[in-house]
Amino acid sequence: MRAEAEASTAVIRQALLLVRRSIDWDVATARLEELLAAADDPNLWNDAAKAQALMREKTGLERSISKIRGIEREVDDAVTLIELGEAEGDEDTVAEGLKALDALRQRCEVLQLESMLSGEADANDCYLEVHAGAGGTEAQDWGSMLARMYTRWAERRGYKVEYLEESPGEEAGIKSVTLKIQGENAYGWLKTESGVHRLVRISPFDSQARRHTSFASAWVYPVVDDSIEIEILEKDLRIDTFRSSGAGGQHVNKTESAIRITHMPTGIVVACQQDRSQHRNRAIAMQMLKARMYEAELQKREVAAQAEADSKSDIGWGHQIRSYVLQPYQMVKDLRTSVEIGNAGAVLDGDIDAFLEASLAHRVGGKKAA
């Protein structure tokens, strides 16, 4: 077999070996057998919370194990194809096999990153808030563009997106929006996106076509279940009701049912206007508050665990993480990892995987260095 095929195969097999080690393959496969047996127990659903946790763990292990086994099978198939092409002198068949190996190598790189998503809440769904910065219509339009970027990214991955709250701008865009993104490792992939995003462009709202700089903030925190105990005292809450104020459509309603909850000791504010029921909106808002407080605790643990040298890669309010330049040239640059992409339109249409993968690798690498 030619040298390039051997090199690609060696890289892939080494990557798979590292992924197997990261999930402790023997333990993982044995645990999956236990979970499969437990799932067949007719008494499992007598305890719904326990059953749901078991099924989530089973589904996660099944996905991880099946991905590894699937790539291993496809590597063998590609190698066989190349050997067959070489034996018959068919260069097209050899080229097809080499192309398959290259695609598998890229999938292994992603799989290696996914194997790093082993944080306490990485596998969870997440909430994503976008807030327009100062600057009126220009910043509010940028906030809307940023929310759309994340929505398109989620849709590309087959994730489900729900709009929980939306505060429209006076002329265009949004003042704020809260999304719930549901899918495997949603929080793990998006957790490094919290921070300030900067846009430079010729303003469509400026009659003199001047260049403007706008800012919007993203904030990502995990959805948590009832098994995680977060103490929230009723006396610490200020609860306001208001009329939904969105532009209409499936995401908002016009009834006096929207809820805003302020946790006074921490200053955390959450809002929900998804449902026509005030009680339902209150329940969702309480879940969001619990998730925000849990995420704050995770951040405290992470800061405590990292050396001072890693502080530059911490995420949070006030940290500018990425610039999106549309004029006088097109360039999106991540300020933490220095990853640059010239096709700004594709990025704003949700093609942000290169940024997510680099920031995740940078984050994990920083922890290891500490």
Digitized pLDDT (tens) for each residue of the chain, 370 residues in all: 678 889 999 999 998 998 898 888 999 999 999 999 999 999 999 988 788 888 888 888 898 899 999 999 999 999 999 999 999 999 999 999 999 999 999 889 888 877 777 677 888 899 999 999 887 899 999 999 999 999 999 999 999 999 998 999 888 899 999 999 999 889 999 999 999 999 999 988 877 878 889 999 999 999 886 656 677 888 999 999 887 665 444 444 455 688 999 999 988 999 998 888 888 898 898 888 988 888 887 777 666 544 433 433 333 334 689 999 998 899 999 999 999 999 999 999 999 999 998 988 887 655 443 3
In the chain, ranges of CATH 1.20.58.410 domains: 3-115
Q: Quickly name the fold that domain 126-369 has.
A: Alpha-Beta Plaits (3.30.70)
Give how far the C-alpha of residue 320 lies from the chain's centroid of Cα atoms, to the nearest Å: 18
Cβ–Cβ under 8 Å, residues 252 and 216? no
* pTM of the complete model beyond 0.85: no
Q: Which residue has the tokens 């605790």?
A: 297
With left for phi above 0 and alpha for psi between -120 and 50, is residue 89 left, alpha or beta?
Answer: left
DSSP 89: T
In the chain, ranges of CATH 3.30.70.1660 domains: 126-369
Please give the CATH number for the structural domain made up of 3-115.
1.20.58.410
Distance between CA atoms of residues 166 and 168, nearest Å: 6
